[in-house]
Chains A and B, each alone.
Chain A
Amino acid sequence: MHEKVIFEYSRPGRGATDQWPAAVEVNDIPAALRRKTAPMLPEVSELETVRHFTRLSQQNFSIDTHFYPLGSCTMKYNPKACNQYAMLPEFLARHPLAPESHGQGFLTCMYELQEMLKEVTGMQAVSLTPMAGAHGEFAGVAMIRAYHRARGDLARTEIIVPEAAHGTNPATATMCGCIVKEIPVGEDGDVDVEALKAAVGPNTAGIMLTNPSTLGVFERRIEEVAKIVHTAGGLLYYDGANLNAILGKVRPGDMGFDVIHMNLHKTFSTPHGGGGPGAGAVGVSARLAPFLPIPIVGKEAERYRWLSETDLPQSIGRLSAFMGNAGVLLRAYIYMRLLGREGMSQVGEFATLNANYLLARLKAAGFDAAYPDRRASHEFIVTLKKQARELNISAMDFAKRLLDHGFHAPTTYFPLLVPECLLIEPTETESREVLDAFVSAMVHILKEAEEEPEHVRAAPHTMPVRRLDDVRAAKQLDLTWKPTPTPQALRPAPPLPG
């Protein structure tokens, strides 16, 4: 299973020469500005390259190969059609600064995507430019700040964040120059309304909320929360990480949110790509519309054009060199057209059905839900507090052993306030058989934890590598390959028997 680093295949003078243009001399660039030694790129043939990267790909778990119930990440099937039709040659070749006359087809898709996103979220206007969820969060909080500033309300620099929030929420608030105020969550998983009341005031810029929350439950008093924040003069930010749970069932705009970001790579099934590209479109209520990031696609007399600084003089500005992750947006557009309005509500329904079914089965098998009295949304939390105490088996041990059973692990140790937690999100595209097999694996591991705990603690056993030394990784930084003799400790171990 060991695959060499590509530089170890390198041979001077070799290369995928058929891919190279003809050699030409360059003699009009002064020597002082020229490179003197060649960069260290591999010298390998095309077949060696194809084999190497194909083998690397085979060392990954992915949605196409494995159940991937990573909570808060919505790892559902990425339809192949979305990729194929977003990669039509004309779309790929289109230069971002090409005139609108050579982009009406593309711009039509973008305009219609904006309209569909408005409809499913209940917001009044949409900008597609943010390039990831966190980038959308940045746009959202920057708009909240711009709104208060435009009103001369300069004291409003505090952003309220529940303690269960994604780490990106407080980090974003800091990036926008705001001060973060964390508030607790009650026993039942809902925001502590009394704490919220005490937290708001004349310095409140807004609150960032995920609903359903990262605890996998719907914030039942959302209307009251909205009223408290609005009455105090603040705005409500909706983190769309969990939009899949409520798609077609309830809309953030109707809950009272002023601004939202959507993770198109979650809810609208664009690929996660090993950690990106995402797309974090933002939607706003009417009062924030003048502040949207540019460009936005406008429609005039059946022609589509970019709206820029002149159309939106109060815009928070440009967040990407051009218009964001256009190719990702095309994939989301195709996905939404394939689902149609009927499919939208099915997403929320079946994501919720699968999560509640999986929760019910796990509870019946002896696992503890973190919020046993609540309905699960599209995800839920199992806490292994008891197993950790009685068997000395951690959530991480469970996660690693699940890999041996052919399942990607759920999200572990997030949210931070639930001890030894697994955040499990099955998504709507998984069949009942897969969910049943996951339950069997969990039951098997639990039994193993009682009878053979060492085996669980030493998991995984069947992956390309065993558990990795993270401390060494951070202390003895090895971030690039170097062409020196490999130290003894780094030499590949001989193949293990069996």
Chain B
Amino acid sequence: MAFIPHTKEDIAEMLAAIGVRDIEQLFEEIPTNLRVKSLAGVPTALTEMEIGRLMMERAKADGRPLNFIGAGAYEHHIPSAVWAITTRGEFYSAYTPYQAEASQGTLQLLYEYQTMIASLTGLPVSNASLYDGASAIAEASLMAVRANRKSKSLRILVPTTVNPFYRKVAAATASNQGLRFEEVPYSPTEGRTLVESLAKYDGQDITALVIQQPNFFGVLEDVDALTDWARSRGIFVIASVNPTSLALLKPPGEWGANGVDIAVGEGQPLGVPLSSGGPYFGFITTRMEHVRQMPGRIVGRTVDLNGKPGFTLTLQAREQHIRRAKATSNICTNQGLLVTAATIYMSLMGPKGLERVAASSHARTRELITALTRVKGVRTAFNTPCFHEAVVLLDRPVAPVLKALEARGILGGFNLAEYYPELGNALLVCATETKTGEDIERYATALSETLKAAKAA
């Protein structure tokens, strides 16, 4: 089943038009010793009916456990309209809008997206998206190096409270260009970065400081103090934010006295399913003065020959297909389809709906924490304000407890032992608006029984 429409007659007539005897002759320029002899490692073809059955069996085997993991990917309600429209062939099977006149749908949608995400982050300009929230920190760091002309050090301060996966991706992506990511420790009692811990960098050449809000523990950082500390020293501030939280929390454009320089984040909470980690999309917004240092596609509104408004890719002189080795990034595609979903999601939610999603998710997490800490042997790690995610400490190692919960169809959270061993038996938990009171009770009961059983054993 290769979706090839040719009849025998077509093939014969086409070969005659070319002037060859068979299809093989078309490959005559390829040295014969290089030709494929066998593809035995690829199974024989399946029909659509067969692959459908196979995939349904595999999906069923994975099941649908009750999920309390967040840690950078959040389970929210997605209205049916979002993916019903996103998977329309006109969006799904189009390419990058190089021919603007034949791509106004995608272009206008991207312009609307740029408007929404810029407003959400409180900064004036956005691009058309990046790969994901992790690679967005790498791109923002590289952008800060280009835009912060006063700094020559390529040193980027990254608090330990920034998502550890993001930190790894940033290092893997940007260290080849000489960027150095230096960790800033957090307060073990408050679970956040203290401005005092930055004092040792006073007087040093630092290119940028990354601030994640809420941080990986769900704790709210003192963003105003951190931003002012950095900006008053000529250090760029890169905010990494959860877009849902921005319906409730102060946008990066308003942090401190004058706001941040660049805001990035993971767009997944805006209508994109968890889907084992992707495809998601990263967003990036900035101040107008840095727009020419921004990576990726940017859409602008202009007019056509008749003065009618229309949309087109713009500022392309930054990009790889024009600038080649001198481009702002090698990025070519964005994550267009996910941006389509997010734009439809944000339209359905509007400012009030998104605020309700944020508030409801936060309230559910509070309920969850209350229910879990009622269980003997469970307490909260930090007594600091948080948003829709929090760390609890158990009286025994987390891994076997999670395993026991898993056997009962519950994913109890993200075990922090590998990345934050200093916290002891710490578990990162999250509830969103998708969790009911019964779901939370089910988790608390299962945890209570698991810990009791472990104690008895």
Contacts and interface: CB of A to CB of B under 8 A. Distances in A.
B96 A272 contact: yes
B51 A490 contact: no
Nearest to B274: A95
B165 A42 contact: no
B389 interface: no
B324 interface: yes
Interface in A445-498: 458, 460, 463-470, 472-474, 476-481, 489-493, 496
Contacts of B200: none
A63 B89 contact: yes
B380 interface: no
6 contacts: A42-B116, A42-B347, A83-B92, A96-B73, A321-B163, A408-B102
B454 interface: no
Interface in A395-439: 399-400, 403, 408-409, 411, 414, 428-432
Nearest to B83: A87
Given A473-B312, A479-B125, A317 B278 contact: no
A41 B346 contact: yes
B196 interface: no
Interface string B210-230: 000000000010011000000
A422 B4 CA distance: 24
B314 A20 contact: no
Given A137-B330, A352-B26, A467-B305, 9 more contacts: A30-B385, A34-B250, A41-B116, A41-B349, A64-B89, A131-B278, A275-B297, A320-B278, A350-B2
A36 interface: yes
B34 interface: yes
B105 interface: yes
A89 B59 contact: yes
Interface stretch (A195-203, A326-334, A385-393): A326-334
B277 A249 contact: no
B350 interface: yes
A186 interface: no
Contact of A317 (B20, B97, B172, B288): B172
Interface string B44-74: 1111100110111111111111010101110
A249 B330 contact: no
B357 A49 contact: no
B287 interface: no
Interface residues of B, number: 203
A120 interface: yes
Contacts of A476: 302
A87 B315 CA distance: 35
Contacts of A354: 14
A464 B104 contact: yes
A479 B59 contact: no
B225 to A, nearest CB: 10
A307 interface: no
Query: Which of B11, B323, B332 has the most chain A CB atoms inside 10 A of its CB?
Result: B332
B411 interface: yes
Interface residues of A, number: 207
A293 B274 contact: no
A29 B85 CA distance: 36
A176 interface: yes
Contacts of B303: 468-469, 472, 489-490
Interface string A93-137: 111111101111110110000011011100000000001111101
Contact of A321 (B96, B108, B133): B133
Contacts of A166: 321
A171 B99 contact: no
Query: Which of B88, B266, B351 has the most chain A CB atoms inside 10 A of its CB?
Result: B351
A57 to B, nearest CB: 4
Contacts of A23: 356, 359
Contact of A470 (B297, B302, B334, B411): B302
Contact of B249 (A29, A137, A472): A29
Given A43-B350, A46-B79, A340 B44 contact: yes
B425 interface: no
B325 A174 contact: yes
Interface string B79-96: 101010101111111111
